Structure 1
């Protein structure tokens, strides 16, 4: 299992444990509600919530061809999740690189952020932007080819 799934799995396991305790106390309605909350949190923090990641080299190549931004992200990052949710359906038009799965992506982020792996880092026309406003990223998408 990759570390991208550790947080979602932990959330589901903790929710299951708490729900089991509530069932044993004869509170099945509360147990179901709480378990549902934990499952939703696990889904939101899982790699499933994001478009399919590609490697940094492939993302840079595709970006050079179509002009679309490259987003470097990692699972469990609340700022990455904020960007993904606020972009809505247009998020699928970006090139997403999971820095936990791609060492070249992690190196690109460190190079852009003085050695730190600060995400999301969005690269537009070869220039990195750390944790940009989602509205700005959407604008960059509209100017892409």
Structure 2
């Protein structure tokens, strides 16, 4: 679990160091601009922007019941971040599995990707799709799910 936070922590520490250096150089305005930029990068690369992850088995069970796709992801993956941001509010309607926290999820991704942990891997109706277009993923949600009336 700690490795999911390494990049965000490094960004916060680096931003703090750079801002402090700018203040000592007499450029508090530059420091005031850089620190929020580093903090924003840390937030975007943290697991916090993703919906709560469940285990692979639980996600597959839920997907069987409600028909929603399962997204296998890992923190720090720029393609996972792109998918999450472009899905917007509909991201919470998917079942998310962090492969760094769930060995069964990592194994499922390796099985779908010839032994590689390529993410995001989106499983729709039991069929894996590697790094799909976010618009396509949004289309895979049932009409009742998209309107927010699903259970």
Same fold (TM over 0.5): yes
The interval holding the TM-score normalised by the smaller chain is: over 0.9
In 1, distance between residues paired with 2:27 and 2:50? 35
In structure 2, what is the equivalent of residue 100 of structure 1? 100
* 1:65 alignment partner in structure 2: 65
Q: Which whole-Å CA distance do the structure 1 matches of 2:98 and 2:66 have between them?
A: 20
Partner of 1:25: 25
Asked if the contact 2:46–2:75 (Cα under 8 Å) also holds between the matched residues in 1, the reply is yes
TM-score with structure 2 setting the length: 0.93
| RMSD of Structure 2 on Structure 1 (CA) | 1.1
Which residues in structure 2 correspond to 1:24-63 (within 5 Å)? 24-63=24-63
Instruction: Tell me the number of residue pairs that the alignment of Structure 1 and Structure 2 aligns.
Output: 145
Point out where structure 1 has 5 or more consecutive residues left out of the alignment: none
Per the normalisation by structure 1, the TM-score is 0.97
Give 2:12's aligned residue: 12
Partner of 2:89: 89
Q: CA deviation at 1:68?
A: 0.1
Q: Where in structure 2 are there 5+ consecutive unaligned residues?
A: none
Partner Cα distance (2:140, 2:130) in 1: 14
Q: Which residue in 1 is equivalent to 2:119?
A: 119
Q: Give the drift of 1:29.
A: 1.1
